[in-house]
Amino acid sequence: MSRVLVGVKRVIDYAVKIRVKPDQSGVVTDGVKHSMNPFCEIAVEEAVKLKEKKFIKEVVAVSCGPSQVTETIRTALAMGCDRGIHVEVSGKDYEAMGPLQISKIFAALAKKEEASLVILGKQAIDDDCNQTGQMTAALLDWPQGTFASEVTIDGETVKVVREIDGGLETIKISMPAVLTADLRLNTPRYATLPNIMKAKKKKIANMKPADLGVDMVSRVEVLRVDEPPTRLAGVKVETVDDLVAKLKANGTI
Amino acid sequence: MANPLRREVRQLYKNLLYLGREYPQGADYFRERLNSAFVKNKYVTDPKEIRKLVDCGEDVIKELGTLYYLKEYSAMKKRFYEEELLGLLNIGRPTD
């Protein structure tokens, strides 16, 4: 029986209105509500479900970042993960942290923990990269089942139904493997207070990227962050002829 | 015996209060309604009645969980699956 690693990312809450910093170096995060990335919630739920169905023995929640990410790990523990790992990254390293560094960390942890599965959200709602799962699989040379909307374990293989343009694709991959969760994979459970209290007894191990032999140097530099262009006001027309005239005038027809 | 029930009622209140922090109309709005709902039943003594009310409270917890999930799901659907939604409405698709 096996162990599953689940990645959880602390992001600005999906319902918060994002504001760009005046110096255009990024978005305002101070004092802003943060929570677990929605796709990571789905990943955690899937891992916990697999454990409840007795396909796997242990679920380990992993997050990288400053001390605040332990809140996110605690939520994962409250949802049913057995223990957590906090990979401490802060300051400039944290600001520059991206899928490449994360996937290196996860690859090292997957080997260290002898995981059979690494389950991640398909993408984070703050950077929309959709790269970490794929990079992790490549670094480990493991098969990947991305955009998973259904996961079935059958012995040493996994059947994954993937959401792709134009429909669904079913693949069979051997374990160990990396999976990334899509929206319809499952319905994540809400972490209620009694579960949070119980989770306080679960352990969160602490380590640094250097302990895993990972260098955090970024190859990417953010030059500028802009607000999206403001939507132009709509124009009202009186008749269909006016509409056609306007569409012809601006070259649409 | 009112005592074990007293603990359950208190725990129910705490659980509901915790969930109410995310309530769409505001945590304060929720807390006011929560308080008045509990105060309204302050003088109930029959353990069967109390049990029924507690179960009612548990149902509210489940409903809140569902409410929060649906809110998040529909936000994600709108944000990341706009093409799908447009497809359903047959808008924005180039014709062959």
For A71-95, what is each residue's pLDDT tens digit? 999 999 999 999 999 999 999 999 9
Nearest-CB residue to A187 (from B19, B69, B77): B69
Average pLDDT of the segment spanning A120-146? 97
List the end-to-end C-alpha distance of chain B, in Å, as a whole number: 74
CB-based burial of residue A86 (10 Å sphere; 0-12 exposed, 13-18 middle, 19+ buried)? buried
Least confident among A45-49, A71-75, A174-178, B75-79: B75-79
pLDDT tens across A21-52, in order? 999 999 999 999 999 999 999 999 999 999 99
Whether A252 contacts chain B with CB within 8 A = no
Average pLDDT, chain B: 89
At residue B13 the predicted structure's pLDDT band, cuts being 50, 70 and 90, is very high
pLDDT at B1: 44
Nearest-CB residue to A194 (from B15, B76, B80): B15
A141 Rama class: left (phi>0) / alpha (psi -120 to 50) / beta: left
Alpha helices in chain A (DSSP H): 38-52, 69-78, 91-96, 99-112, 132-140, 193-199, 240-249
**Domain layout of chain B by residue ranges:** 5-89
Least confident among A113-122, A219-228, A231-240, B42-51: A231-240
Amino acid (one-letter) located at A58 = E
Whether A251 contacts chain B with CB within 8 A = no
pTM: 0.90
Share of chain B above pLDDT 90, in %: 73
Whether B78 contacts chain A with CB within 8 A = no
Flag whether pLDDT at B2 surpasses 80.
no
pLDDT at B92: 59
Task: List the Cα angle A7/A115/A88 in 5-degree steps.
Answer: 40
Average pLDDT, chain A: 95
At residue A230 the predicted structure's pLDDT band, cuts being 50, 70 and 90, is confident
pLDDT at B83: 77
